[in-house]
Amino acid sequence: MTTATEQTAARTSLPATMTAARAHAGKAEMTFEQVPVPEIGAGEVLVEVRAVGVSRGLVSVLVFTDMIKLLPATVGHEIAGTIAAVGPAVDDLAVGDRVHVYPPLGCGACEGCARGQESDCPEFAMIGYALFQPAGLRRYERYHHGGMAEYVRVPAGNVDRLPAAVSYEAGAKLTTAAVSWRAVATARGDGGVTGSGARTLIVTGAAGANGSIAVAAAPMHGFDKVIAVANRRAGLDRLAERYPHVTATIATKELPEKWQRTGGLTAALQQAAPDSAHALVDFTPLGGDIPQQAIKALARNARAVLVAGNPASIQVDYLDIMARGRTLTTAADPSRDDVRTVAAAVGDGRLALDPLVTHRYALADLNTAISTVLGRKGQPVLVVVQPRETPADGIPNHGERSSA
Ligand SMILES: [Zn+2]
């Protein structure tokens, strides 16, 4: 148990103000402002942010929706750092602990929260991200300011210690990685795909963050071959060089003209996997042609897991479902346990996220980071911002920063 005196002592070394990147209503650009370092209360901790992710999901919500409420706000839900202060009634975390933040917020009392799946909670919101259910406003109000700042206030219950071998950058991406992890696990099927022998997984949208992590995680779920599909060649070549289990890559830009109408992707996939692929994980952000044609290339009794939040319509043949026994499904949001499983896998080296970090920026360069993610400049996979120029522990941030 930390006493109030200890908390005051911890806080005395903290500055009164900090730099935060703020989103304003109707403005596409972030502004950089000096704001008070958040006060913390019972059951809360203050995290000195060492890495915060810039994801396509966050950028899309920010630029294209009004789901981020209570503007101006500090966004950023993929957070890792060190504990800078602990509030009263927090007995399992201490100043200096290396941690990552689990961003979902829920009521803590319903059946969804009991399963660690706050997205099923009637009060679902996310730290530094969006309000999904109006009933979640009370918690969102307290925690809507996220990690694009030097410090962030979070509930102690949303914080897990980072395994020693996990970098802050990988730590910031653990919940995102758990989305891919859950998708591949779902593609494999809870009871395991029937039969044994070689298993081939198609990953579409493979060059992006979630697609790349799905490719990396495939062998851990019993897939020994991956066919990676993306629009352009560059990101695919990087995957094929890194992962020996990537046995074929297909860039749709290289398919015969009018492939959308002629089934060119289905043909290319069937050529790449003559015995047909056993499952599909689709992370195609826009357009129905890729998932639609990938589904057609699957083997009997195969599973297609659609997880990109793609707004397109797709057409499916009745007989594909009925006669070939194909299953079209999605994956549940990852639970807290999934995130902890992924943290352990990153910690013991089974899943390497650091090689997928392609871009690092200072907080002052956040607007550049956002345009990198939106425009896919330089084939970004995992993009992080490092808010502190001089971390309190004096240990430099990992890796070279990208030029702004
Ligand atoms: Zn709940």
* pLDDT tens, residue by residue, 208-220: 999 999 999 999 9
How many whole angstroms from 118 Cα to the centroid of ligand 1? 6
Q: Residue 396 has what pLDDT? A: 60
217 vs 274: CA distance, rounded Å: 23
Q: How is the chain split among helix, strand and coil, in percent rounded to 5?
A: 35, 25, 40
Find the 334 Cα to ligand 1 centroid distance in Å: 15
- Amino acid 402: pLDDT: 74
Provide the pLDDT confidence category of residue 12 given band limits of 50, 70 and 90: low
**85-97 tens-digit pLDDT:** 999 999 999 999 9
**Is the model's pLDDT at 315 over the cut of 90?**
yes
| Tens of pLDDT, residues 53-80 | 998 888 888 777 777 778 899 999 999 9
Phi-psi category of residue 255: left, alpha or beta, with phi > 0 → left and psi -120 to 50 → alpha? beta
Contact 120, 151 (CB under 8 A): no
As a whole number of angstroms, the distance between CA 213 and CA 182 comes to 11
Query: Strand, helix or coil at 102?
Result: coil
> From the CA of 313, how far away is ligand 1's center (Å)?
32
What the block records as the tokens of 314 is 């797709």
Q: Alpha helices of 273-396 — where are they, by DSSP H? A: 289-296, 318-322, 336-347, 366-375
Residue 60 alpha carbon to ligand 1 centre in Å: 26
pLDDT at 289 over 90: yes
Residues 6+ apart with CB under 8 A from 11: 85
CA–CA gap between residue 323 and residue 374 (Å, rounded): 41
To 10 degrees, the CA torsion angle through 337, 283, 400, 172? -20
What spacing in Å lies between the alpha carbon of 68 and ligand 1's midpoint?
20
Tell me the CA–centroid distance for residue 109 and ligand 1, in Å: 5
CA–centroid distance, 158 to ligand 1, in Å, is 14
In eight-state DSSP terms, residue 39 is P
What's this model's pTM, rounded to 2 decimal places?
0.91
| pLDDT tens figures, 343-361 | 999 999 999 999 999 999 9
Which of the four pLDDT bands, split at 50, 70 and 90, describes residue 205? very high
Show contacts of 35-39: CB within 8 Å, 24+ apart. 35/74, 35/149, 37/150, 37/151, 38/145, 38/151, 38/152, 38/153, 39/153
For the residues of 260-291, what is the DSSP string, one character each?
HHHTHHHHHHHHH-TT-EEEEEE---S-SHHH
Ligand 1 centroid–CA 367 distance in Å is 34
Residues 380-397 have pLDDT tens digits of 999 999 998 766 666 666
What is the reported pLDDT for 9?
Answer: 44
Beta bridge partners of 159: 101
Residue pair 180/213 in contact by the 8 Å Cβ criterion = yes
- How many angstroms is it from 140 CA to the middle of ligand 1? 13
Mean pLDDT, rounded, for 156-178:
96
